[in-house]
Amino acid sequence: MIEIKEKSKFSVGEVAKLVATSTRTIRYYEEIGLLEHPQRRGNRRVYSGEDLRRLKFIRRLKLLGLSLAEMSELKDIYKIHQSNRKVLSRLLELFERHIDKIEQSIEGLQTLKREIERYRERIHQKLNGNNGNGKPVGKSKGEKK
């Protein structure tokens, strides 16, 4: 295990392993400005402990449902105000919006579950020889035998 200290320097491969992501993803985050371009030693990127913490934070926000655009917005807020307070206030607003979306999804899934259960019950009734009204399932008068 690699010890993480403020003065530690990491290659892109080491950082990718430590944050469980790909080197391509790390480079993409640099391209879109979500992660600052790291120092270089020759042609190699060299990441600091701060870069590693930033990537872990990005990963955590992604797992919590924030989009890259929302993360970029948070970074911009920090650049403007140089205050975590403003960032955290906006983060709370984003979390509230995501909670609302999740609750709507849960309601939709519960509705879908009920519909599937009703349909499953109708199928069981047909397979067991009645059509839900107590009468055996059979061909109607107009159907050919």
Q: What is the pLDDT of residues 36-65, one digit of tens each?
A: 988 888 888 899 999 999 999 999 999 999
Degrees (nearest 5) of the Cα angle 89, 101, 113?
155
Check whether 22 has a pLDDT greater than 60. Answer: yes
The 10 Å Cβ neighbour count of residue 78 is 14
Is the full-model pTM beyond 0.85?
no
What one-character DSSP code corresponds to residue 37?
A: P
Could you report the per-residue pLDDT of 110-144, keeping only the tens digit for each? 999 999 999 999 999 999 987 656 565 555 455 45
Could you report the per-residue pLDDT of 76-96, keeping only the tens digit for each? 999 999 889 999 999 999 999
**What values do phi and psi take at 45, rounded to 5?**
-75, 140
Q: Determine the residue type at 71.
A: M
